[in-house]
């Protein structure tokens, strides 16, 4: 990962070196800026519109004045997009320092989100996955300076730095190719991250998974040369605000060929992303522990690849999940729900306050919402559900809620077993969730991240390839989480 320093300074240096200086101008602060800045553009009427002007007083300096009409026009996401623009421009110029100056930022109604963006967006925008290249061309950005009188914002910058770095950890895991990140390596990385960040990790190996009779995970693993793993992560701070844990479950298919129901070439080409749910859970655990969030959180990661090896599980097989439910396999490509069924059934033993699973579960979710949104379904109470939706808007990892009506359950009933692992093509994201719901006994939120987990072309600070979606969302949701369940359920 490319390291950048993020700090607060209360005045500009005497001279700049290789610096891009970004100044936010609104009608609220324009007079102040005019009085202070000798280079201030003479045509400030441009700031009655959302527009920018740049000046280059010398070869070491580029000053960008970014206008907004009013504070209220500056939504956090707009601000993030601008920061991304500055970082991109700075790297093109091979500059090293980014100064951000926004007098009056503390008067903005969402000042906390704006200030966090100052750390978060440069880190996310500057992310590069280049460690496998023999010749590494690093971006030039080295330092971000937030210029403000108020040095108290340091804490917000630290929080945001930790969350952004954790998002990059998730991105790295998703971008790692399947030969360098199999189920065993993923569990080893979980152990390493646990040591580094301070959460507990226990890994169940194949023999333990067998004795627990996790038939979903074991069946999907039959075609593989690498044994399955089931990792349990735990963060239990000294005085947690919750008595019962919050359990996060992440789909950890390190590569999804579809198995015997083999995927066509196109559909298979990005399937190293099929452990993005697991990466999000790991990244979230790093963010939660590095910022010391006062919640007891458990992460569960069932992991294997899905391949058509000679022993591979077969359409028409009937398998038995951890809780005893029998499942008729009709399509070996609907493997995620099988490994998640074991993990969700296993989660019940913690009597959790809330279960959240993240999974690149269905192509149907991609068809429905593209890469712009998460397909969300929930059995948690209204307030908790609203809270995760709100957190999604705030960090711009937005979600669309789908229903979990009973009628959908009829579509996955099997003639010869309790359930079958596929329904009809239409409504595919919902029937997949209904399948999972069968195994869950506690309030539950399902996040189908198949769309936003992996991008084929770059999109602003989300970048290209693995996005780390879910990390910022989970962190922000938990940070603002209060025990709604207690009063509501
Ligand atoms: N991993 C895929 C879903 C997926 C699709 C993730 C596109 C990311 C991008 C999942 O295991 C899968 O293959 N689902 C099937 C289910 C079907 C066979 C019922 C699908 O959606 O086609
Ligand atoms: Zn699949
Ligand atoms: Zn899959």
Domains of the chain, each with CATH number or no CATH = 5-149 (3.40.220.10), 163-488 (3.40.630.10)
CA distance 362 to 378: 17
d(CA 47, CA 49): 5
Paired with 9 in beta bridges are: 147
Rounded Cα gap, residues 465 and 455, in angstroms: 5
Q: What separation in Å is there between the alpha carbon of 43 and the centre of ligand 2?
A: 57
Whole-number Cα distances in Å, 453 to 108, 117, 180:
31, 21, 19
Structure-token match 């919402």, residue found: 369
Q: Are 95 and 19 in contact (CB under 8 A)?
A: yes
Ligand nearest to the CA of 432: 1
- Strand bridging mode 252-256 / 246-250: unpaired
- Ligand 1 shell residues, CB under 6 Å: 256, 274, 331, 333-336, 360-364, 366, 422, 428, 450
In the chain, which residues have pLDDT < 70? 1, 43-46, 48, 483-489
Give the nearest ligand 1 atom to 362 CA.
Answer: 21
**Pocket residue to mutate for ligand 1, from 275, 338, 361, most atoms within 8 A of Cβ:** 361
Which atom of ligand 1 is nearest the CA belonging to 421? 19
φ/ψ of 81, rounded to 5, equals: -60, -40
Q: How far is the CA of 457 from the centre of ligand 2 (A)?
A: 22
pLDDT of amino acid 44: 61
Q: What is the pLDDT of residue 151?
A: 81
Ligand 1 atom closest to residue 364's alpha carbon, by position in its atom list: 21
Q: How far apart are CA 177 and CA 182, in angstroms?
A: 9
Give me ligand 3 centre to Cα 429, in Å: 13
| Listed residue (232, 246, 216, 442) closest to 337, CA to CA | 216
Atom of ligand 1 nearest to the CA of 263: 13
Q: Pick the residue whose CA is nearest to atom 3 on ligand 1.
A: 362
Nearest partner of 19 among 90, 119, 92, judged by Cα: 90
What is the number of residues in the chain? 489
* Verdict on whether the full-model pTM lies above 0.85: yes
- Give the pLDDT score at 484: 52
Q: How many angstroms separate the alpha carbon of residue 165 from the centre of ligand 2?
A: 29
Ligand 2 centroid to Cα of residue 217, in Å, is 13
Ligand nearest to the CA of 253: 3
**19-43 b/e (C-beta count within 10 Å ≥ 16 → b):** bbbbbbbbebbbeebeeeeeebbee
Q: Which residues are catalytic?
A: 263, 337
CA of 253 to the centre of ligand 2 (A): 9
Q: Which of 461, 402, 397, 476 is nearest to 437 (CA)?
A: 402
- In sequence order, which residues have a C-beta less than 8 Å from that of residue 38 and are 6 or more positions away? none
Q: Are the CB atoms for 279 and 176 separated by under 8 Å?
A: no
- In the reported structure, the alpha carbon of residue 333 is separated from the centroid of ligand 2 by a whole-number distance in angstroms of 3
Indicate the angle between helix axes 154-175 and 111-125, nearest 10 degrees: 40
Instruction: Tell me the per-residue pLDDT of 180-205, one tens digit each, with 9 for 90 and over.
Output: 999 999 999 999 999 999 999 999 99
**Distance in angstroms (rounded) separating the CA atoms of residues 413 and 393:** 36
If you measure from the C-alpha of residue 306 to the centroid of ligand 2, how many angstroms do you get, rounded to a whole number?
8
Of all protein residues, the one whose alpha carbon is nearest to atom 13 of ligand 1 is 333
Q: Which atom of ligand 1 has the smallest separation from the CA of 361?
A: 3
CB 253 within 8 A of CB 164: no
Among protein residues, the one with the nearest Cα to ligand 1's atom 22 is 363
Candidate from 363, 375, 447 with most ligand 1 atoms within 8 A of CB, to mutate = 363
- Whose alpha carbon is nearest atom 14 of ligand 1? 362
Task: State which ligand 1 atom lies nearest to the alpha carbon of 274.
Answer: 1
Pocket test for ligand 1, best of 362, 423, 448, 470 (most atoms within 8 A of CB): 362
- Dihedral sign, Cα of residue 36, residue 40, residue 45, residue 51: negative
* Nearest CA residue ID for atom 7, ligand 1: 363
């Amino acid at each position: 990962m490319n390291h950048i320093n993020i700090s607060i300074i209360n005045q500009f240096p005497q001279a700049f070196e290789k610096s891009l200086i970004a100044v936010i101008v609104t009608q609220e602060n324009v007079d102040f800026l005019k009085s202070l800045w000798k280079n201030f553009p003479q045509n400030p009427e441009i700031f009655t519109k959302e527009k920018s002007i740049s000046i280059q007083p010398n070869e070491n300096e580029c000053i960008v004045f970014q206008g907004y009409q009013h504070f209220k026009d500056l939504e956090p996401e707009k601000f993030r997009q601008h920061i991304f623009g500055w970082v991109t421009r700075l790297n093109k110029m091979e500059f090293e320092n980014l100064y951000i100056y926004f007098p009056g930022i503390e008067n903005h109604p969402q000042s906390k989100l704006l200030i966090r963006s100052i750390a978060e967006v440069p880190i996310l925008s500057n992310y590069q996955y280049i460690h496998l290249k023999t010749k590494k061309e690093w971006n030039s950005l080295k330092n971000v300076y937030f210029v403000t009188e108020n040095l108290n914002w340091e804490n917000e910058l630290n929080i945001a730095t930790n969350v952004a770095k954790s998002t990059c950890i998730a991105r790295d895991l998703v971008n790692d190719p399947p030969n360098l990140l199999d189920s065993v390596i993923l569990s080893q990385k979980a152990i390493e991250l646990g040591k580094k960040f301070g959460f507990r990790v226990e890994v169940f190996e194949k023999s333990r998974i067998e004795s627990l009779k996790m038939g979903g995970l074991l069946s999907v693993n039959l075609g593989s040369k690498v044994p399955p793993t089931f990792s349990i992560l735990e963060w239990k701070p000294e005085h947690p605000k919750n008595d019962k844990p919050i359990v996060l479950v992440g789909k950890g298919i390190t590569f999804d060929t579809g198995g015997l129901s083999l995927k066509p070439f196109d559909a298979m080409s990005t399937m190293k992303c099929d452990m993005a749910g697991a990466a999000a859970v790991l990244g979230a655990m790093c963010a939660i522990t590095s910022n010391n969030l006062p919640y007891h959180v458990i992460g569960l990661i069932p992991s294997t690849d899905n391949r058509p090896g000679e022993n591979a599980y077969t359409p028409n097989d009937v398998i038995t999940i951890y809780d005893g439910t029998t499942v008729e396999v009709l399509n070996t490509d609907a493997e995620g729900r099988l490994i998640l069924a074991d993990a969700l059934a296993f989660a019940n033993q913690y009597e959790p306050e809330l279960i959240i699973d993240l999974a690149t579960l269905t192509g149907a979710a991609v068809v429905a919402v593209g890469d712009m949104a998460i397909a969300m379904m929930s059995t948690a109470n209204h307030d908790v559900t609203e809270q995760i939706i709100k957190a999604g808007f705030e960090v711009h990892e937005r979600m669309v809620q789908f229903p979990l009506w009973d009628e959908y359950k009829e579509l996955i009933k099997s003639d010869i077993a309790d359930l079958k692992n596929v329904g009809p093509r239409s409504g595919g994201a919902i029937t997949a969730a209904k399948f999972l719901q069968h195994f869950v006994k506690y309030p539950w939120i399902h996040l189908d991240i198949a769309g936003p987990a992996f991008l084929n072309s770059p999109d602003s600070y989300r970048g290209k390839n693995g996005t780390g979606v879910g990390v910022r969302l989970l962190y922000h949701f938990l940070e603002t989480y209060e025990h709604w369940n207690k009063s509501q359920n």
